[in-house]
Amino acid sequence: MKSLIVLFLGFVFLNFSTEETDKPELVNIESLSSEFYYEIRYATPNNFIGETLYDCAQCLLRPEVAEALLKANQFFCERGYLIKIYDCYRPLDVQKKMFKKVPRPTYVGNPYGKGSVHNKGAAVDITLVTLDGCYVEMGSDYDFFGRAAHIDNFNFSEEILQHRKLLFEGMRKFGFQTIRTEWWHFSYKKNLSYRTLNDPLPCD
């Protein structure tokens, strides 16, 4: 009987520890630095869905991803630019709403398949702005679904190509990877080690 009790307590402790270590750990980038600009489009109806999808405008990321983004922002700052953030962590339920509206995996990650790296808190949608927040031309608007947003499209002015080159090289330097169809999207290299999340944004 005594051995059964010990075994039971051991199981409870193991279960508790697993739940504790599995808790998602996301940090608010705004609490780490004031050197970013923000335009969280999904907290407004100004997006490809035409609906407000977030209850508040926050950028949450895995701590390791946030640290890498801070380093990238410093890199750009030394060259006369700063990062403007469009999107970070995205709950899986929001991904489902997006895919229902636009079921095109080329542009919207299938939430019933691999989903989006945004759902893991390991991807960012960004652009560059000047140090005082002025617009920098990148060749298309954010969330534009078409050839103008593709990173292998070089039919732009030299100025736009240089802006894109700086953005891509700076982000890759600190461990982020691009995708072919969206110049603004960057996934952190270790994203496969993170699990998909569906926690709502902490807006209170």
Query: What's the number of CA atoms in the CB half-sphere (13 Å) around residue 4?
Result: 1
19, 25, 158, 182: which one is catalytic? 182
Question: What does the pLDDT read at residue 12?
Answer: 37
Provide the pLDDT for residue 152: 97
For residue 179, the enclosing domain spans 25-193
Residue 31 lies in a domain: yes
CA distances from 163 to 26, 27, 88, 97, 132 (A): 30, 29, 21, 32, 17
Q: Is residue 58 part of a domain?
A: yes
132 SS3 class: coil
Identify the CATH number of the domain in which residue 40 sits: 3.30.1380.10
Q: Cβ distance 66 to 30 under 8 Å?
A: no
Cα dist. 72→94, 103, 159 in Å? 27, 32, 21
- Residues belonging to the binding site for Zn(2+) are 118, 125, 185
What pLDDT score does 118 carry? 98
Cα gap 9→17, rounded to integer Å = 12
1 found inside a domain: no
Are 135 and 39 within 8 A, CB to CB? no
pLDDT of residue 7: 43
| pTM reported for the whole predicted model | 0.87
Q: Residue 7 falls within a domain, yes or no?
A: no
Is there a domain that residue 156 lies in? yes
Rounded Cα distance between 131 and 116, Å, is 30
The rounded average pLDDT for each run of 10 residues, N- to C-terminus, in the chain (204 residues) is: 43 38 77 97 97 98 98 99 99 97 89 92 99 98 97 98 99 97 97 93 90
- The yes-or-no answer on residue 30 being catalytic is no
pLDDT of residue 22: 52
Q: Which residues are annotated as a binding site?
A: 118, 125, 185
Q: Is residue 203 part of a domain?
A: no
For residue 4, being part of any structural domain is answered with no
Number of separate domains in the chain:
1
For residue 69, being part of any structural domain is answered with: yes
